Amino acid sequence: MTLRDLVLVRLGVAVNLVIGQIVAALLLPIYLDSVGTILVASLVGPRAAIAAGLVSQILSAVISGNFSWLPFAIVQVVIALYAWGAARLGLFRRLATAVPAGLGLGLVAASCSAPISYFVFGGVTAGGVTMVTTVLRALGAPLGVAVASASYATDLLDKAIACALVSAVLRSLPRTLAARFPALAR
Amino acid sequence: MIGYLAGRSPLHRAHPYTTLALAGAVLLLAFALTQPLEIWLLVAAGAALAMAGGREVLRSSVRAALLLSLPIWALLFVLYGLLGAEPRLALGFVSLSVPGVARALVLGGRITAIVLGFLTALGTTSPHRLVEAMTASGVPFGRTFLLASTLTVLPRMRDRARQILEAQQCRGLRIGGSPLARLRALGPLALPLILGALAEVDEQVLALDARGAGGGARRTALDAPPDSTPQRLLRWTLLVAMIAAYAWKFWRMRG
């Protein structure tokens, strides 16, 4: 990785970790903890995006003190690869294609996170998702169905908004700045 | 939640890799063990590890571990204890699922043990010593930079996010209202933060290049923490123990 890629990966990690502060201020029921990973995948490529995702997961654990969510690092790898593919197909150039790409990413991410959540943690993970799981369970849904439904519902919304946001960033880049990222022109 | 707490305990004096290996072993063992008794022995081992870090580390780690674990315990109690499968045990005015409680003890104990182990490692591992140890063992500059440097960038980004929020509110941005209205406010807050950070990338690359960070030469650690044969032996033993624990787990699953 070049020095420039390293700096961009650091930026991606910082965005992943700080954007949550804005989301919390807006009291939105989402996380947006992969915006930086998707952005780095679009601007640099899959290797840098995977690095951004993995470092985000580790530093998030260091900052919060909760290291038990480290197995979810694999989800960040999947997000990085999907986002790179979507960027190569030019899906982030318009909002009309970015949102469906985000919904697809939500499906893929939930398909990875739901089994980890169910088999490793018994469905008890982050507060918001587990609350949805608990409500569905109380309504009579089997635990597996409740965990999967909660994961899909939150990930679809979260990743669609994350991709829309990345698309907005890429479209707002001034020409002089955009020209510095050759991956954008491909 | 908890940062490095200076001290002179055996864990403070140990090589950073040894402390991290101990925490890593707790993490891996927590996922290898499946019985309540085994998991709670691991929680006790995590507490013993925190005790080895000294009184201050023990107090901070246990407090932070409780703060992090309690909401999870509450959710486990509802999801498994109250909504769990038959047979049930009546305790006063509540009826608890017996297999549900056993499962909750495993899941909750697992998270408590992991949190306790890593909080102890965080409290006793100086970031400076860790970076020096990584440099001395030949870890490429990029990896050290990403882990150490990002932590220093975060407070600056957080400050900028707060400033943007205040500035946009001064310009009339409303951050309340319906979920859709709040979602619309996301763009004016997140876009300036990300675009501003992207505009600074080249400047930061130049600054790092000027300090010789771009060279591929192996860096010299000025203050490398001492390592010893018993510590290296301990780390290898932990590795072998982890492999044995997983082999035992899969053998038991087959049986």
Show pLDDT as tens, one digit a residue, over chain B (255 residues): 567 888 889 999 999 999 999 999 999 999 898 888 999 999 999 999 999 999 999 999 999 888 888 888 888 888 888 887 788 888 888 888 888 888 889 989 988 999 899 899 988 988 889 889 998 988 888 778 877 778 778 888 888 888 998 898 898 888 778 888 888 888 888 899 999 888 888 888 888 888 777 666 777 888 889 999 999 999 999 999 999 999 988 888 876
Structure tokens that stand for B13 in this block: 């004096």
A positions 5-64 inside 8 Å of B (CB): 6-11, 13-15, 17-19, 21-23, 25-29, 35, 39, 51, 55, 58-59, 61-64
In angstroms, the separation between the Cα of residue A142 and the nearest Cα of chain B is 10
Q: A184 vs A58, which has greater pLDDT?
A: A58
3-state SS track over chain A:
CCHHHHHHHHHHHHHHHHHHHHHHHCCCCCCCCCHHHHHHHHHCCHHHHHHHHHHHHHHHHHHHCCHHHHHHHHHHHHHHHHHHHHHHCCCCCCHHHHHHHHHHHHHHHHHHHHHHHHHHHCCCCCHHHHHHHHHHHHCCCCHHHHHHHHHHHHHHHHHHHHHHHHHHHHHHCCHHHHCCCHHHHC
Question: Do residues B241 and B28 make contact, with C-beta atoms less than 8 angstroms apart?
Answer: no
Q: Is B207 on the interface with A (CB under 8 A)?
A: no
pLDDT at A161: 93
Task: Report the pLDDT value the prediction gives residue B228, as an integer from 0 to 100.
Answer: 93
B-chain residues within 8 Å CB-CB of A168? 187, 191
CA atoms within 13 A on the CB side of B76: 23
Q: Is a pLDDT exceeding 70 seen at residue A127?
A: no
From the CA of A108, how many Å to the nearest CA of chain B?
23
Chain B 40-99, residues with CB within 8 Å of chain A CB atoms: 64-65, 68, 71-72, 75-76, 78-80, 83
Supply the pLDDT for residue B235: 96
Average pLDDT, chain A: 87
Give burial (CB, 10 Å; 0-12/13-18/19+) of B240.
exposed
As a whole number of angstroms, the distance between CA B116 and CA B49 comes to 9
Q: Are A46 and A27 in contact (CB under 8 A)?
A: no
How far is residue B73's CA from residue B126's CA, in Å, rounded to a whole number?
31
Cα torsion A107, B79, A63, B139 to 10°: value is -60
Q: Which residue of chain B has the CA closest to A60?
A: B151
d(CA A65, nearest CA chain B) in Å? 6
Whether A120 and B199 lie within 8 Å, measured CB to CB: no
Interface probe, candidates A23, A117, A120, A124, chain B, greatest B C-beta count within 10 A: A124
Task: Determine the average pLDDT of the residues in A111-120.
Answer: 88
Each residue of A31-88: pLDDT tens digit? 888 999 999 999 998 999 999 999 998 888 877 777 777 888 899 999 999 999 999 9
CA distance B237 to chain A (A): 23
pLDDT of A183 > 80? The answer is no
Chain B, window 224-253: residues with a beta carbon less than 8 angstroms from a chain A beta carbon: none
Domain chopping of chain A, boundaries: 3-185
Taking the C-alpha atoms of residue B75 and residue A123, their distance in angstroms, rounded to an integer, is: 10
- pLDDT, average across residues A116-134: 79
Q: What is the pLDDT of residue B87?
A: 83
* Residue in A26, A123, A137 nearest the CB of B182: A26
φ/ψ (deg, to 5) at B96:
-105, 145
Tell me the ipTM for this assembly. 0.86
Q: What is the separation of C-alpha A89 from the centre of its chain, rounded to a whole number of angstroms?
A: 19
Q: Is A74 on the interface with B (CB under 8 A)?
A: no
Interchain CB distance below 8 Å, B118 and A61:
yes
Beta-carbon neighbour count of residue A33 at 10 Å?
23
Report residue A39 as tokens. Answer: 């952005």
Instruction: Considering only the beta carbons, identify the residue of A11, A25, A61 that sits closest to B197.
Output: A11
Domain borders along chain B are 10-125+225-254, 140-210
According to the model, what pLDDT value does residue A154 have? Answer: 86
- Per-residue pLDDT reduced to its tens digit, A139-150: 888 888 888 888
